[in-house]
Amino acid sequence: MKGFRFFKIVVVFLCVFALSNQRTQAQTDINSAYSLFLYNFAKYSQWPDNSSGDFKITVFGNSKVYQELQKISTSKKINGRNIVVSKAMSVGDIGESDLLFISLGKSGEISSIMETTTGKPIMVVAEKKGLYEKGACISFYVGDDSKLRFQINDQELSNRNLKMAQSLKGMAFKG
């Protein structure tokens, strides 16, 4: 009887471990997807002064997207420019960026971010659904079908003198 009880405990432990491992793998997958989308947003968009210097991506807040973007930056370029990835924990630390990714934990600071970056050619991309309505150029969300989707604020892109390829705009969710 004790052997069977021990066996049940081991099985339960293995199931819990497998489920937590799947959750960790799903988180890694979504962070990788975010970073690939961010790379493609940058690659298929134009900035007003698109010609020289490093392409600067800032991750605002704690997010594993930072590490994923670091991986991309070692092997890829954006329009011939090296990619430099930095992290900011406060609005004052954002500095000069070409693309700003707002992590979910920092989405409550959207008003301050928009106030600080208004009129600058910074593509602001948010991890939280609906922030495109509050000034972000793009906001991500996971649909009911568990697929990663994004919405675009064309007016904000225009206000910031940013031009995104029509093919990429066509992939955005409307509604």
Q: From CA 148, how far away is CA 150, in angstroms rounded?
A: 7
CB 50 within 8 A of CB 77: no
Task: Give the right CATH number for 35-169 from 2.40.110.10, 3.40.50.2300, 3.30.43.10, 3.90.330.10.
Answer: 3.40.50.2300
Altogether, the residues listed in the chain come to a count of 175
State which H helix or E strand residue 41 sits in.
Answer: helix 2-43
Q: From CA 31, how far away is CA 8, in angstroms rounded?
A: 35
Q: From CA 50, how far away is CA 61, in angstroms rounded?
A: 26
* Tokens at 128, concatenated: 């939280």
Q: Print pLDDT tens along the chain (175 aa).
A: 544 333 333 333 333 333 333 333 445 589 999 999 999 999 999 999 766 789 999 999 999 999 999 999 999 999 899 999 999 999 999 988 999 999 999 999 999 999 999 989 999 999 999 999 999 999 999 888 888 999 999 999 999 999 999 999 999 987 5
Domain boundaries, the chain: 35-169
**Helix, strand, coil % in the chain, rounded to nearest 5:** 50, 20, 30
Q: From CA 126, how far away is CA 123, in angstroms rounded?
A: 10
Residue for token pair 């970073």: 35
Supply the pLDDT for residue 175: 58
Global pTM reads 0.82
